A = this chain, B = another copy of it.
Amino acid sequence: MDVALFLSRFDNKVDRKGRVSVPAPYRTALAGQAFAGIVAYPSLVSQAIDACDMARIEELANGIDSFNPFSEEYSAFATAILSRSHQLQFDGEGRVVLPEPLIRHAGITEVATFAGQGATFQIWSPERYEVYEPEATEQAKEQAAKFALSRHKGADE
């Protein structure tokens, strides 16, 4: 099927119940999924929340399961990612509640910043994102050439 594509940046308010509106364009991208919501987990590299659709997590789980299920690697990946990921269901208005552990990991308080990453998106504290974005941009410039070379590796059409 068509994979969801997440673009742009959105800053939405977190109400006192911990609810945030998932940006409407993201919800549109997610339309037609079996599960009406998103899956979120702490990023392994950033102080941010990584999020994607259910299908992607299933893929991930299958990938992990292809290891020896009784190995340490299996256990480590499953624990690091799957046990820390949360299924967040949309309410009638397209909101989700951000679980406490994720809120803490990302340092989110009043506002959550949604940043599209293509097949996934991230949720940041605005303050931290303001710092991170220029850094990432700079880094991207430096590695632009290298990136271009690997880009077509997984082309499948």
Residues of A at the B interface (CB closer than 8 Å) are 1, 5-9, 25, 39, 43-46, 57-87, 99, 101, 115-120, 122, 132-133, 136-137, 139-141, 143-144, 147, 150-157
In whole angstroms, what is the CA distance A146 to B66 when docked?
A: 13
Cα of A117 to Cα of B138 in the assembled complex, Å = 24
Given A68-B70, A141-B44: A154 and B59 within 8 A (CB)?
Answer: yes
The residue in chain B whose Cβ has the minimal distance to the Cβ of A140 is: B80
**In the complex, chain B residues whose CB is within 8 Å of the CB of A87:** 7-8, 25
Query: Complex: how many Å from CA A157 to CA B71?
Result: 28
* Residues on B with beta carbons closer than 8 Å to the beta carbon of A136: 75-76, 79-80
Determine the chain B residues whose CB is within 8 A of the CB of A140 once the complex forms.
44, 76-77, 79-81
Identify 21 residue pairs between A and B in the complex whose beta-carbon atoms are under 8 Å apart, listed by A's number: A5-B58, A6-B82, A7-B39, A8-B84, A25-B87, A44-B144, A45-B72, A59-B151, A63-B150, A63-B153, A66-B69, A66-B154, A67-B69, A75-B136, A76-B143, A77-B143, A79-B136, A80-B137, A80-B139, A84-B133, A85-B116
CA distance A25 to B54 in the complex (A): 14
Interface centre among A70, A140, A152, A153 (most CB of B within 10 A): A70
Report B-chain residues with C-beta under 8 Å of the C-beta of A119. Answer: 61, 65, 69
Which of B46, B73, B83, B151 contacts A143, CB < 8 Å? B73
Q: Are B154 and A154 in contact (CB under 8 A)?
A: no
